[in-house]
Amino acid sequence: MANPPVPDDQLRRQFEDLLALPDTDPQAALLKDLLGSVLRLNESRLDMLDLKIAHRSLREMRYAFRVFTPYRQRRKVSIFGSARIPQDNPLCDLARRFARLLAERGYMVITGAGEGIMRASNEGAGRENSFGVNILLPFENEPNPTILDDPKLIHFKYFFTRKLFFARESHASVMFPGGFGTHDETFEILTLLQTGKNNPHPVVMMDLPGGSYWKKWERFVREDMLALNLISPADTGLFRIMDSAEAAVDEIDGFYRNYHSSRFVKDRLVLRLRQPLTAAQVDDLNVRFAHLCPDGKIEQCPALPEEADEPELLALPRLAVPYHRRSAGGLRQLIDVVNALAV
């Protein structure tokens, strides 16, 4: 990932080319602002460690964007779990089967590129359907054989940049049993969904039939967090606990049965759908989910002008939801109903 320094004359030409672009070009305006931020780093007289953090973070993100961009049209599932589970453990067998079924249905998988559950998942999906986002550690940092030397393997120095791409690129998150790292990633994903900092997507906790790992975790969530009013009842709907590879894949497929994707446009959440709803169905949604939209109504509409930067999605029908961003669990319930209405 390391690049040789860019010669001064080449840098100068690139700066001049960028500054010559009109500010009416949204990308050019953002790049100019980004360049200004870099120049202000110099004005801030930061110490060397601060500059190294900024430099490495930006370099990691630039490289990761380049790797993921050609695959943006394919849905991906992030799979988390312990690196310490042996390959002959039934949990690894379950991970391999689950990842293989995902690949058969057109998904790619993203793992941390390590051993244990990560290795089994990459093996199940196959090299061609796998990404690895490896964290550079003094231990456990050798990528597994399936993803080793693959161009879709990305090395990160910082956990925060690594987790950014797990969140940004995933259309579902699946958690197998693991240690501190798995729980860190689990609560990170749930927090991003709960606070509206990530697009809605299914979260599945996977265990063996009869396993108690995630059931005990759920008891803690319900009997401690929920009982103390530290989360809302709807937040417990952000995840599902499953013990079947087939059921887990069906859960992910079902989430995208009619729901396609979403984005905020000003104060409205736009839900893109595969099939339009009837006027009566939209009326029913407004009755059932009025608590999500205290300042307006759910409306079916064509693409909004602000969505012109995604031309491949303009033909999809839409629901514009004046969502108050305070009930991610309720939003998940709305999407479930929209999917159930699909013919």
**29 forms bridges with which residues in the sheet?**
none
Residue 3 has a pLDDT of 66
Q: pTM for the full model?
A: 0.93
Instruction: Provide the number of structural domains found in the chain.
Output: 3
Q: Which of 65, 84, 105 is the last residue of a domain?
A: 65
Residue 83 has a pLDDT of 96
Q: Which of 205, 239, 255 is the last residue of a domain?
A: 255
Verify that 57 and 79 share a domain, yes or no: no
Do the bridges between strand 203-206 and strand 76-80 make them parallel or antiparallel, or are there none, so unpaired?
Answer: unpaired
Encode pLDDT of 58-110 as tens digits. 999 999 999 999 999 999 999 999 999 999 999 999 999 999 999 999 999 99
CATH of the domain at 112: 3.40.50.450
Q: Is 229 within the bounds of a domain? A: yes
Q: Is 3 within the bounds of a domain? A: no
Verify that 94 and 222 share a domain, yes or no: yes
- What whole-number distance in Å separates Cα of residue 110 and Cα of residue 132? 6
Verify that 128 and 219 share a domain, yes or no: yes
Residue 140 has a pLDDT of 62
Verify that 224 and 285 share a domain, yes or no: no
Verify that 102 and 223 share a domain, yes or no: yes
Q: Is 178 within the bounds of a domain? A: yes
Verify that 47 and 87 share a domain, yes or no: no
3 state SS for 73-90: CCCEEEEECCCCCCCCCH
Q: Which domain holds residue 266?
A: 259-340
Q: Is 2 within the bounds of a domain? A: no
Q: Which of 217, 238, 255 is the last residue of a domain?
A: 255
Is the CB of residue 183 less than 8 Å from the CB of residue 220?
A: no
Tokens at residue 250, please? 């069906």
Verify that 228 and 127 share a domain, yes or no: yes
Residues of the chain with pLDDT under 50: none
Determine the Cα angle at 79 with ends 264 and 217, to 5°.
90
Residue 18 has a pLDDT of 85
Verify that 95 and 115 share a domain, yes or no: yes
3 state SS for the chain: CCCCCCCHHHHHHHHHHHHHCCCCCHHHHHHHHHHHHHHHHHHCCCCHHHHHHHHHHHHHHHHHHHHHHHHCCCCEEEEECCCCCCCCCHHHHHHHHHHHHHHHCCCEEEECCCCCHHHHHHHHHCHHHEEEEEECCCCCCCCCCCCCCCCCEEEECCHHHHHHHHHHHCCEEEECCCCHHHHHHHHHHHHHHHCCCCCCCCEEEECCCCCCHHHHHHHHHHHHHHCCCCCCHHHHHHCEEECCHHHHHHHHHHHCCCEEEEEEECCEEEEEECCCCCHHHHHHHHHHCHHHCCCCCCEEECCCHHHCCCHHHCCCCEEEECCCCCCHHHHHHHHHHHHHCCC
Residue 295 has a pLDDT of 87
Verify that 185 and 237 share a domain, yes or no: yes
Verify that 105 and 184 share a domain, yes or no: yes
Verify that 55 and 86 share a domain, yes or no: no
Q: Is 142 within the bounds of a domain? A: yes
Q: Is 148 within the bounds of a domain? A: yes
Q: Is 35 within the bounds of a domain? A: yes
Verify that 210 and 272 share a domain, yes or no: no
